[in-house]
Amino acid sequence: MARATYLLPLFVVLIHLRSLASSTSYGNLTAPSCHPDHAAALLQLKQSFLFDYSTNTLPSWEAATDCCLWEGVGCDSVSGQVTVLDLSGRGLYSYSLDRALFNLTSLQRLDLSKNDFGGSCIPAAGFERLSVLTHLNLSYSGFYGQIPIVIGKLSSLISLDISSIHYIDGGEIDTLYNVFDSYSLLVLQEPSFETLVSNLTNLRELYLDGVDIASGGEDWARTLGKYVPHLQVLSMAYCRLVGPIHYSMSLLRSIEVINLKLNGISGVVPEFFADFLNLRVLQLSFNNLRGSFPPKIFQLKNLGVLDVSNNEQLSGNVPKFLYGSSLETLNLQDTLFSGVTLSYFVNLTSLTDLGIDGRSIFTEPPYFFINKLNHISTLRLSSINFSWEVGSKFSWIGDLQSLTTLKLSDCYSTKTMPSWIGNLTNLRSLDIRYCDFIGPIPHSIGNLTTLEYLAISDCAFSVQLLSSVGNLRNLRFLQISYDYHGLSGPITPAIGHLNKLAVLILRDCSFSGRIPNTIANMTKLIFLDLSQNDLVGKIQNPTITLYLIICELCIK
C-alpha cells in the first residue's frame, strides 16, 4: 500500500494562495464560498478513505468550513465551484474510487496519483460527467484491469497520465509499492489504444507507462500520428509495443519527449527523428532496434537525454561533440557503437549521466580528460575488463569525486572487484549486476558511508559478508542476491547497525548459521527477504513493523 509522502506541485500552492486572497473582502466584494454540493461530495470522498492505513487524514476537510480552503482543493473565483482536486502523494488508501467524485462536474484538473485504491478497477462510468476536465492523473495508485472507454470521451483533455509502472533507482523507498518494479496492472484491450485516443485530439501529454497495449499490434505509431498530432510528451515505457516505428509518427512535429523504453520495438531508428527540432528526451532503451543510428540526431540543439542502451544490434559512431550541446544524459551501453573516445565528452559541459560499453571504448591516457569529467554524477559501465594491466586503464574512475551513482553490469576480472571503488566517498547509489569478480566483496566498500542504495545481484563473489558493510549506516536499500559462487558463512551481526534500512534482501546466496538477532534493531524495515539460504532461527523480540517477510524460518 502506498504510504509515501510527496511534495505538493507548485500549482496547488498557488491555488491555495489564490483562495486565501479571494476570501479577503475589498469593499463590498467578497469571493464566494465553496459550492455546498461540492463540499458534500468532497466530504463523502473523504469518508471513503481508510485512515487507519493512510498517512494523511485530510484534517482541513471539515464540515461547515469553506472547502475552497481545504488541502488540495481549488475553486473558481467567481462561482465557488471546485475546479481543481490534487491529492497526489497523500498516502491515501481506499478499496475503490468513490463515485461522489463525479459530482464535481466543474473539475478541470484531477490528480489522484501516488495513492492506493486497493487493486480496484477504474470506474467504468462516471468520468463522462467531468466534461471540462483538461488534466487527469491516476498514475501509481494501485488501479487494476481494463482502462474504461469513458476516459477516451474526455475530449478536452490536454494531459492524461494512467501510468502503472514505478522504478526504484536509489530514490524514495517508503512503501512496498516502491520496492518492486510494478507489473502491468492496467490493460488496453477493449477499448483498444486507438479507441482511447481517437477523440483526444487536444492531447499534449500522454503517459501510459506499464499499461499493457499488446493488443495494439504494430499500429500504435500510426495511431499517434493520426489522432494526436499536437502531442508534446509521449511516455509509453513497458507497454509491450512491437513492430517498427511507422512513418506516420513523423507528423508529431511538436514532440518534445519520446519515452518508448522496455518494449519490443524493432526496425531502425527513423531518420525523421532528427526533424523534431523541439526534442528534449529520446529514450529508446531495451528494445530490438537495429541498423545505424542517424548521426543527425546527435546535432539536435535541445536534446538533453539520449538513451539507446540495450539495443544489441544498434550501431553507430559517436561524434566529437562541440561546445553548446545540451546533452545531460547519454547512454550507449550494450549497443554496437564503436570508436567511443572519452575525450570527446569533455565538451559536453552539461553532461551528468554517462553510460558506455567497454567493448566500444578507445582508451586514452587519463590525463587527457580526467580533470574535465568532474561534471558527471552518474556513470554506467558495462562489459569492462578490470583485470591487471587492462583494469588499470579504468582506475581513473576512482578519482571522479563528483560521482553519486555508479552502475556496473556484465563486468569481469580475474581478481577481485577494483578497490578504487572505496575512493568514491560521495556515492549515494551503487548497483553491481551480472559481474564476475573473483574473491570477496572488498573491505573498501565500507568507506562509502554516504551510500543510500546498494544492490549486488547475479555476481560471483565468495567468502563471507564483511563486517565493514555495517559502516554503511545511511543505507535505505540493501540487496545481495543470486550470488552463484556463494557468500559463505554467517550473516555478520554488524548488519544490525543499518537502522535506516527500509528494504533488506539477502536472497539465494550461501549464508549459513543463525539469523542475527541484531536485525530486530532495524525499526524502519518494511521488507525482508532472507530466503534460499541455509539459515536457522527467527527474529527475536522484533520491534520492527514489516509489511512483508520472505523467509522460511524468520517468522515473527
Question: Whats the size of the chain, residue-wise?
Answer: 556
Q: For the whole prediction, is pTM greater than 0.85? A: no
Mode of pairing for the β-strands spanning 186-187 and 233-235: unpaired
**Cβ pair 498, 520 in contact under 8 A:** no
Using the 8-state DSSP alphabet, how is residue 69 labeled? Answer: G
How far apart, in Å, are the Cα atoms of 131 and each of 97, 128, 206, 220, 328?
18, 6, 18, 26, 39
293-296: list long-range contacts, CB under 8 Å, 24+ apart: 293/269, 293/337, 294/269, 294/270, 295/319, 296/271
Bridge partner residues of 379 (DSSP): 354, 406
pLDDT at 3 over 80: no
Would you tell me how many other CB atoms lie within 10 Å of the CB of residue 349? Answer: 13
CA distance linking residue 99 with residue 45, whole number of Å: 8
pLDDT at 41 over 80: yes
Residue in 262, 249, 259 with CA at minimum distance from that of residue 288: 262
- Phi-psi category of residue 506: left, alpha or beta, with phi > 0 → left and psi -120 to 50 → alpha: beta
**Cβ pair 526, 505 in contact under 8 A:** no
pLDDT of residue 320: 79
Bridge partner residues of 306 (DSSP): 282, 330
Please, which pLDDT band fits residue 80 given cuts at 50, 70 and 90? very high
The grid coordinates listed for 81 are 465551484
Question: Is the peptide bond preceding residue 191 cis, with omega within 30 degrees of 0?
Answer: yes
Average pLDDT, the chain: 82
How far apart, in Å, are the Cα atoms of 234 and each of 110, 159, 255, 283, 300?
20, 10, 8, 10, 18
pLDDT of residue 361: 72
More confident of the two residues 13 and 71:
71
Task: Identify the H or E element spanning 146.
Answer: strand 145-146
pLDDT digits (tens, 9 = 90+) for 491-519: 888 888 888 988 888 888 778 888 888 88
Sign (positive/negative) of CA torsion 87, 88, 93, 99? positive
More confident of the two residues 469 and 540:
469
pLDDT over 90, % of the chain:
49
Angle at 186 between CA 85 and CA 87, to 5 degrees: 15
pLDDT at 33 over 60: yes
**Cβ pair 336, 312 in contact under 8 A:** yes
CA distance linking residue 443 with residue 297, whole number of Å: 44
pLDDT digits (tens, 9 = 90+) for 165-198: 655 444 444 444 444 434 447 898 877 899 999 9
Distance of CA 426 to the CA centre of its chain: 22
Strand (E) positions, 274-390?
A: 281-283, 288-292, 305-307, 313-317, 329-331, 336-338, 340-341, 353-357, 361-362, 378-382
pLDDT of residue 127: 96
pLDDT digits (tens, 9 = 90+) for 58-71: 999 999 999 999 99
**Cβ pair 525, 504 in contact under 8 A:** yes
SS in 3 state form for 80-91? CCEEEEECCCCC
**Cβ pair 529, 550 in contact under 8 A:** yes
Using the 8-state DSSP alphabet, how is residue 52 labeled? Answer: T
pLDDT digits (tens, 9 = 90+) for 222-264: 999 999 999 999 999 999 999 999 999 999 999 999 999 999 9
pLDDT over 70, % of the chain:
81
Using the 8-state DSSP alphabet, how is residue 7 labeled? Answer: P
The separation between the first and the last C-alpha atoms of the chain, rounded to the nearest angstrom, is: 21
SS3 content of the chain, % helix, strand, coil (to 5): 20, 20, 55
**Cβ pair 41, 76 in contact under 8 A:** no
pLDDT of residue 459: 78
Would you tell me how many other CB atoms lie within 10 Å of the CB of residue 374? Answer: 12
CA distance linking residue 342 with residue 512, whole number of Å: 44
- Residue 469 has, within 13 A of its CA and on its CB side, a CA count of 27
Please, which pLDDT band fits residue 24 given cuts at 50, 70 and 90? very low
Specify the CATH number of the domain 377-556.
3.80.10.10
